[in-house]
């Protein structure tokens, strides 16, 4: 169980980590280098999204994939042609049993799935009449799941009653079968009586068997009386089992034992032990008491008054603190009492189960669709693959600035940035120039990356201005063009924003004749 739990979490964490290292990094590369290349933004939400999605697929979807495989395999074993060779069928059941112990399932869930396999496995073994040791083990597991299944019970009883010496676990199994049927099977009852008498075993397990055998006039009744009466009389037991045994053994006991049994039965009546808990047994004890001589009745009544239950138990506090709390817990478990927490937990559990079942059904439909795709001919799969690759290539090309052939001219006229050259100040008589600043970083390599990204999108007039910082180091300011008016610079910058080439900017005024040093 511990090993399976370790496998469950270790494999899922490994799959989640693998998805983060492969698909996660691929997604980040696509976002930074293709979809949003050249833009500087906080990508922590994207990274957390990658982690959550990887854990979702590594834990939840992986487990549902395993359950989907199990259900398909189990459905395939429901309709087995009994004419198929047994050597071809048995390995499938064994493999499915091992599959329930894999890392797909926690121990509890795997045990429930294994029970489904065992029931179907036992039905198949019964249909082919298997009686080897392995088949009996499967019959036993199926019977323990459902003791009312008589087919497995008969097979197990037939084998156990043929054995000579039974182990304790095998005796317990026969006792389980016998008690489930309320001691109705006389053959099993007589068989167990013989075993207990041969072993001279008197315990809480053999005592009810002896009592039932005596009530049903089993062939070993005399042996049971001879074995048990001295033991019970010596201990002066007056519990319900013992008194019922005394009543059943009274007519067949030896004369010297009969007096002892009558005293024990009559004293139970005088003490009114069973007047409330078992009135029928109390009346049977009264009948024995009435048959006694008056002097013996008086002696027994006097002795009973000396040890009356009412006086002896009056000072006893039966339920102490821990016992009372245990009674409350049992009341809650049986539904007599319900706490607010348990009711709320039950409601929340129902909502969670409903959501999980809906998600499970969706994932199962997805897997069924993938199985359907897997069953298509190879030519359809290749065609679909080529179409998918073409679509990805087209999306990448368009993301890098491409377009459809018919829209090329229009795209250039409306959205393509126009090259900006510094105007001739002498001709225009401009006293002050303006430029667009889109970034300021403290590393030249970062500035070069931004410049390259802008140039890939055909933005002209991009340059870097290097200025000294107040603290140590330099600023590398990425700027675009020089304009004669603020409106002209504003219009051009807004055009870049609308094309998603830049996300933010601000305008910088340059004095007449000022020349920006290029870094």
Whether residue 407 has pLDDT greater than 50? no
Ranges of H-type helices in 292-437: 294-306, 309-313, 321-334, 340-374, 378-399, 408-414, 425-428
pLDDT value at 183 more than 70: yes
> Do residues 420 and 492 make contact, with C-beta atoms less than 8 angstroms apart?
yes
Q: For 68-96, what is each residue's pLDDT tens digit? A: 889 888 988 888 888 888 888 999 999 99
Q: Is CATH 3.40.50.1370 correct for 414-510?
A: no
pLDDT greater than 70 at residue 412: no
**Residue 218 and residue 189 in contact, taking contact as beta carbons nearer than 8 Å:** yes
Share of the chain above pLDDT 70, in %: 78
Residue 370 has which token pair?
A: 């993938």
- The pLDDT of residue 338 is 57
What are the tens digits of pLDDT across the range 132-169? Answer: 888 888 988 888 888 777 888 888 888 888 776 788 88
Local confidence band at 61 (pLDDT 50, 70, 90 cut-offs): confident
C-alpha–C-alpha distance, residues 298 and 267, integer Å? 11
Domain ranges of the chain: 220-311, 414-510
User: What mean pLDDT is reported for the chain?
Assistant: 79
Query: 10 Å Cβ neighbour count for 245?
Result: 24
| pLDDT value of residue 179 | 85
| pLDDT > 90: percent of the chain | 10
| pLDDT (0 to 100) of residue 30 | 86
- Give residue 275's pLDDT: 85
Q: How confident is the model at residue 364 (pLDDT cuts 50, 70, 90)?
A: low
Q: What is the CA radius of gyration of the chain?
A: 44
pLDDT, tens digit (0-9, with 9 covering 90-100), for 213-255 = 888 888 888 888 888 888 877 777 888 878 888 888 888 777 7
pLDDT score, position 434: 87
At residue 417, the pLDDT reads 45
pLDDT of residue 99: 92
Residue 136 · residue 156 · CB < 8 Å: yes
User: Residue 117 — very low, low, confident or very high, per pLDDT cuts 50/70/90?
Assistant: very high
Contact 58, 13 (CB under 8 A): yes
Q: What is the pLDDT of residue 91?
A: 92
Q: Which helix (H) or strand (E) holds 65?
A: helix 62-76
The answer, yes or no, to whether residue 409 has pLDDT greater than 50, is: no
Mean pLDDT of 500-511: 84
pLDDT at 93: 92
DSSP state, 419? P
| Helix-strand-coil split of the chain, %, nearest 5 | 65, 5, 25
Does pLDDT of 311 surpass 80?
no
Mean pLDDT (whole number) for 176-183? 84
Could you list the beta-strand ranges (E) of 157-258. Answer: none
Residue 172 above 60 pLDDT?
yes
Handedness of CA 505, 508, 514, 517 (dihedral sign): negative
Higher pLDDT pick, 328 / 220: 220
Q: How many CB atoms lie within 10 A of CB 281?
A: 19
pLDDT surpassing 90 at residue 18: yes
* Confidence grade of residue 506 (pLDDT, cut at 50, 70, 90): confident
| Per-residue pLDDT, 13 | 92
List Cβ neighbours of 225 (8 Å cut-off, separation of 6 or more): 214, 249, 252, 253
What are the strands of the beta sheet with 462-468, ordered from one edge?
A: 462-468, 474-483, 433-441, 506-510
In Å, what is the CA distance from 34 to each residue of 222, 393, 395, 402, 403? 96, 12, 10, 12, 15
Please return the burial class of 313, using the count of CB atoms within 10 Å of its CB with bins 0-12, 13-18 and 19+: exposed
Burial 62-89 (b: 16+ CB within 10 A, else e): bbbbbbbebeeebeeeeebeeeeeeeeb
């Amino acid at each position: 169980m511990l090993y399976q739990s370790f496998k469950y979490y270790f494999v899922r964490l490994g799959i989640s980590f693998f998805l983060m290292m492969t698909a996660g990094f691929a997604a980040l590369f696509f976002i930074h280098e293709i979809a949003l290349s050249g833009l500087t933004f906080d990508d922590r939400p994207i990274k957390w999204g990658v982690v959550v999605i990887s854990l979702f697929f590594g834990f939840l979807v992986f487990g549902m994939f395993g359950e989907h495989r199990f259900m398909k395999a189990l459905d395939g074993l429901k309709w087995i042609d009994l004419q198929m060779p047994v050597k071809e069928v048995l390995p499938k059941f064994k493999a499915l049993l091992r599959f329930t112990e894999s890392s797909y399932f926690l121990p509890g869930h795997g045990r429930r799935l294994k029970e489904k396999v065992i029931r179907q496995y036992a039905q198949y073994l019964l249909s082919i009449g298997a009686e080897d040791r392995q088949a009996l083990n499967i019959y036993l597991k199926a019977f323990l799941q459902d003791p009312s299944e008589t087919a497995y019970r008969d097979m197990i009883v037939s084998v156990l009653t043929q054995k000579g010496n039974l182990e304790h676990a095998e005796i317990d199994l026969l006792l389980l079968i016998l008690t489930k049927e309320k001691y109705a099977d006389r053959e099993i009852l007589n068989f167990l009586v013989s075993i207990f008498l041969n072993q001279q075993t008197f315990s809480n397990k053999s005592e009810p068997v002896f009592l039932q055998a005596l009530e049903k006039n089993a062939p070993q009744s005399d042996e049971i009386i001879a074995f048990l009466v001295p033991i019970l009389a010596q201990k002066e037991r007056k519990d319900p089992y013992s008194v019922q045994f005394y009543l059943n053994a009274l007519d067949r006991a030896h004369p010297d034992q009969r007096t002892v049994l009558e005293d024990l039965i009559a004293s139970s009546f005088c003490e009114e032990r069973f007047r409330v808990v078992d009135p029928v047994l109390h009346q049977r004890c009264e009948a024995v008491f009435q048959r006694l001589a008056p002097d013996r009745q008086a002696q027994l009544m006097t002795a009973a008054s000396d040890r009356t239950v009412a006086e002896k138990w009056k000072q006893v506090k039966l339920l102490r603190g821990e016992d009372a709390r245990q009674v409350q817990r049992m009341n809650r478990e049986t539904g007599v009492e319900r706490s607010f927490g348990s009711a709320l937990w039950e409601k929340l559990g129902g909502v969670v189960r409903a959501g999980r079942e809906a998600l499970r059904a969706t994932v199962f439909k997805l897997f069924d669709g993938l199985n359907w795709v897997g069953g298509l001919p190879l030519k359809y799969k290749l065609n679909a693959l080529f179409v998918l690759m073409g679509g990805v290539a087209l999306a990448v090309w368009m993301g890098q600035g491409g377009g459809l052939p018919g829209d090329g001219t229009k795209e250039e006229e409306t959205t393509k940035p126009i090259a900006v050259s510094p105007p001739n100040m002498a001709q225009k008589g401009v006293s002050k120039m303006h430029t667009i600043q889109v970034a300021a970083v403290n590393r030249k390599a970062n500035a070069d990356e931004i410049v390259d990204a802008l140039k890939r999108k055909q933005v002209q007039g991009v340059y870097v201005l290097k200025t000294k910082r107040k603290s140590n180091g330099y600023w590398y300011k990425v700027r675009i063009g020089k304009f004669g008016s603020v409106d002209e610079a504003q219009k051009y910058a807004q055009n870049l924003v609308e094309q998603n080439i830049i996300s933010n900017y601000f305008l910088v005024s340059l004095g007449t004749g000022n020349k920006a040093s290029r870094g």
